[in-house]
Amino acid sequence: MTPSPRKATDEEAAESKDMEAEMSSEATGAYGMGQYTRQRAPEVQFRVGDVVLHEKYEIRGVIIGWDPHAMAPEDRLKEARKENEHLSTQPNYAILIDTRDRLTPQMSYVVQESLVLDKGTIWHPLLEKFFDGYDEDRQKYVMRPVYKKWYPDD
């Protein structure tokens, strides 16, 4: 049974707001939103357009960006990772959270070990900004061409 949508915590809402700011022209490149070409490393398991499930929080979403290691303000990383420093060296993913799982549209920056591949569509008002549609055969979203220059191997 799917859990009822819940309201984001203050910490989750603040992270989502910071991520939205990274989509502006004054962005710093944090939260998987940096406008530079990524070279896919073997340890990067997921791709832009993959639908994933956060195992702990049981929320689904679609990957809109990734970093080979955590790239976010130090205070946010300390809040999120607590004493688990190793999490900052793993790939981290920018994710649009399915609005059926959260009451308000939200984004999150999630460490790889918390995610598993899922399938099916998600609902989020920013989907069309990042994707041209959903490919049923491949069970993933089709990235807009502008993002292909930053994620050429995805």
Question: Does the pLDDT of residue 80 top 60, yes or no?
Answer: yes
- Which of the four pLDDT bands, split at 50, 70 and 90, describes residue 54? very high
Give Cα separations from 25 to 13, 96, 131 (angstroms). 21, 20, 20
Q: 10 Å Cβ neighbour count for 16?
A: 21
How many C-beta atoms surround the C-beta of residue 47 within 10 A?
A: 17
User: How much of the chain exceeds pLDDT 90, in percent?
Assistant: 51
- Give the per-residue pLDDT at 32: 78
The predicted pLDDT at position 24 comes to 46
| Overall average pLDDT of the 35-60 stretch | 93
In angstroms, the Cα distances linking 31 to 3, 25, 122 are 27, 15, 20
Q: What is the pLDDT of residue 31?
A: 72
pLDDT range class, residue 34, cuts 50, 70, 90: confident
Topology of 10-148 in CATH? SH3 type barrels. (2.30.30)
- Scan for tokens 């069970």, then name that residue: 139
Q: Pseudo-torsion of CA 92, 48, 68, 76, nearest 10°?
A: -30
Q: Is 121 left (phi over 0), alpha (psi -120 to 50) or beta?
A: beta
Say if residue 114's pLDDT is above 60.
yes
